[in-house]
Amino acid sequence: MAKVYDALRRAEEERRRRAGDDTAPVAPLDVAPSQPARSRATRPFWRRLFARRRRRSEPGGADDVNKRRISIIQPDSYVAEQFRALRGRIDAIAAERPVKTLVVTSAFPGEGKTTAAVNLAAMSALSLGRRILLVDCDLRKPKVHSSLGLQPQAGLAEVLRKEASLEDAVLKVEGTNFEVLAVRSRPSNPSELLGSLEMKQLIADVARLYDRVILDSPAALGLPDAKVISDLSDGIVMVVRADVTAANDVQSVLEVLGQQRVLGMVLNGASMDQARYGYATS
């Protein structure tokens, strides 16, 4: 875990160096200049949450969509190699204990969890003879279908409500060897659906049908959804965004979900020589 904290610290130091200030802390965006500045760690939880949401409210363009599926578009790229390394780490753990169902989450929205889930699914599907299913469990702000150019006629909510069968809802991603259970409709009771006996049974069913099931979870802080989903899985991969995710938020996620269940961490958006992407593990 120390690697992740060190990477976050280095990213912050590099950002300050480029700004020409090696010592002074950056003023929080949501504190007026006339008020005494408060550190990110001491600001109220709700204020930090909505500050992040304001910064990320702009819709993503074609470049953002392509980044979410870069392992499909450029399978030989540096980024794709990082997801191969992540797949290898998970496979090594799976040799010692079952890892059929895997949750990908982050502290807050916009930190790259869907990107990690899509690319990990794509890389996992390259292994010969493997059946991989990617499930979009974010019933509030789903992104998997738009990232992959899918137009589902039925999705997770319909399957849980018995309005569609799993076979009718699952879609094959063109040009890949993995399948997707996306989100079509956004229900008014997402937490209750994700915590239902139907969801538990669905996870058990797909774990029997597929070699690995990757669950793109909602963000872990502020909502109960990620905790509910992670309790149904064999392990967790957490996405941390450099210069955005605070160390205390990482610690909060580990406390909520259980540190012993985290198989590794993906460091997203780090400045590196070869790419603005990184991979780190606990």
Strand extents, DSSP E, 161-275: 171-172, 178-181, 212-216, 235-241, 262-268
Confidence of residue 127 (pLDDT cuts 50, 70, 90): confident
Contact (CB, 8 A) for 115 and 104: no
Average per-residue pLDDT for the chain: 79
Plot region of 212 (φ>0 → left; ψ -120 to 50 → alpha; else → beta): beta
**Residue 279 predicted with pLDDT over 50:** no
**Quick one: pLDDT band at residue 15, thresholds 50, 70, 90?**
low
Instruction: Summarize the confidence of residues 132-146 as an average pLDDT.
Output: 95
Residue 12: pLDDT above 80? no
> Per residue in 221-240, pLDDT tens?
988 999 999 999 999 999 99
Domain boundaries, the chain: 2-18+68-268
Residue range 2-18+68-268, CATH number: 3.40.50.300
Q: What is the DSSP string of 77-113?
A: SHHHHHHHHHHHHHHHHHTTS---EEEEEESSTTSSH
- Better pLDDT: 23 or 109: 109
pTM attached to this predicted model: 0.73
CA dist 265 to 49, 83, 84, 139, 152, Å?
A: 21, 11, 14, 23, 30
Q: Which whole-number Å values give the CA distances from 172 to 89, 99, 151, 167, in the listed order?
A: 26, 22, 11, 11
Contact 148, 177 (CB under 8 A): no
When pLDDT is cut at 50, 70 and 90, the band that residue 11 belongs to is low
Contact indicator for 83, 119 with CB cutoff of 8 Å:
yes
Q: Are 157 and 196 in contact (CB under 8 A)?
A: no
How far apart CA 72 and CA 122 sit, in angstroms, is 6
Query: With 80 as the cut, is the pLDDT of residue 75 above it?
Result: no
Tell me how far apart the alpha carbons of residues 10 and 16 are, in angstroms, rounded to a whole number.
Answer: 10
Nearest-10 Cα torsion for 195, 198, 199, 202: 170
pLDDT digits (tens, 9 = 90+) for 87-123: 999 999 999 999 999 999 999 999 989 999 999 999 8
Higher-pLDDT residue of 146, 18: 146
> Looking at the DSSP assignment, which residues form a beta bridge with residue 179?
133, 172
Q: What is the mean pLDDT of residues 67-76?
A: 57
pLDDT at 60 over 60: no
CB 164 within 8 Å of CB 111: no
